[in-house]
Amino acid sequence: MNRSYTNTQKRTALRVYKRTQSVTKTVRELGYPGRWTLYKWLREPKTPPQPRKQAKTLTHYPYEVKLRAVELFHNGWRPADIAQECCLHTHASVYAWAQRYREEGQWGLMSKKERAGHGRIPTKAALEKSLPDNPTQLKQQMATLLVEKAVLEKELEIIKKDVSVIPGQLSNKHKTGVVDALRSTFPLAMLLAASGLAASSFYYHLKKRRMPDKHAAIRSMVHRISSDSHNTYGYRRIWWQLRHLGITISEKVVRRLMREEAITVRFPKRKVKYSSYQGEISPAPPNLVNRCFHATAANTLWLTDISVFAANEGRVYLSVIIDCFDGKVVAAKTSVNPTMELAESTLQAAIDAEGLPPDGSLVIHSDRGVHYRGRSWHSLTAKYGIVRSMPKKRGVVLTMRHARGFSGG
């Protein structure tokens, strides 16, 4: 949890540092901030911030320029070259225009004013007048429209089944499937013209579709390896398993087969380890234990720590106090939230159960977590005359191993 400081605290820390010329002495004298926070303040420029620059007026490009840029983008041009060719201020606009074109077509590249000019719907009389008077021409036009309608409906079915297919950019393989499905209903020449597919490409893909799949056996093996790994193997590990089975195949082929078979890989979520350390928010007490966990009498040296466990309905936090004399668990409390009250209630339960030595020689040793750095913990230990002890940050893991060993942490 990040802690915020006022400008007065910041100026005071900088004055103390100017006097002591030491980051460590400044933090020890004031009790704040963290060393890295003070380093950040020292690196800040002394000059006042510059006023923000006023945003320039946006440039609106006409529809023709946008359409030209999208066509060059689809032809394989780099956005930087397109920006130079079309005199654009930035090449980032090309990506936005291409996205709008995929979603809305040419209509998405027009402004409201351009849409109003292009979107005029002719009247019924004007539409009838534009049609040819010759019945033969009308029949030819009607036949063409019927073929185009059937082709569009088939293409729409493919787009709904395969989300990777971009509308208006079907591959020749998909177009071949559309034409082959409709060739028994409409003439082949009209289907090829409506779909924009060359006859040579159609027969090539048709022949390829009818050929037996040379990777049919490998597809089933890829499915089996993926299912055996509970869908955790990627194409590299599947390729390695195939090599162990004596099958030599390219990694790119394995990746293509997984894509065609819609085999997805599950990526486990990285678990976030719980840490109660929130920085040096208050002065730390000295390390009175110094890794010597031997006690000559009961209730003279206690260890305390908070551990976390994964349960069916969430996390459970366990606060425990252990006596170093005989390893006895003096007190233990659980909660679903790692609050200050959890650590304080554990200490209070330990005092109520065991009492305090009359000479006030009880030392409680904890890590540098936020639960043992707050004012309420200071007040509670001072009230009962308990001496606090903390290790250095680098020695917390080794020092608190005795307390965490009880909970398996």
Tokens of 304: 């305390």
Pick the CATH number of 63-118 from 3.60.21, 3.30.450, 1.10.10, 2.30.29: 1.10.10
User: CATH second-level architecture of 301-407?
Assistant: 2-Layer Sandwich (3.30)
Torsion of CA 92, 93, 97, 98, to 10 degrees: -30
DSSP 8-state class, residue 234:
-
CA dist 330 and 277 (Å) reads 24
Taking only Cα atoms into account, the Rg of the chain, rounded to an integer number of angstroms, comes to 37
Residue type at position 351: I
Three-class DSSP category at 31: coil
242 Cβ contact list (under 8 Å, min separation 6): 218, 221, 222, 225, 249, 254
Tokens of 340: 């200050």
Give the position of tokens 């082929």: 253
CA dist 174 and 125 (Å) reads 40
Residue type at position 78: R
Q: How much of the chain, in percent, has pLDDT values that exceed 70?
A: 87
pLDDT value, residue 408: 55
CA dist 91 and 84 (Å) reads 8
Residue 309: alpha-carbon gap to chain centroid: 25
pTM for this one?
0.37
Which sequence spans correspond to the domains of the chain?
A: 7-43, 63-118, 142-162+169-210, 216-260, 301-407
* Residue ranges of the chain whose pLDDT lies below 50: 55, 395, 398-399
Identical topology for domains 63-118 and 301-407: no
Per-residue pLDDT tens for 107-154? 788 887 877 766 555 567 777 777 778 888 888 888 988 999 998 888
pLDDT value, residue 51: 64
pLDDT value, residue 140: 87
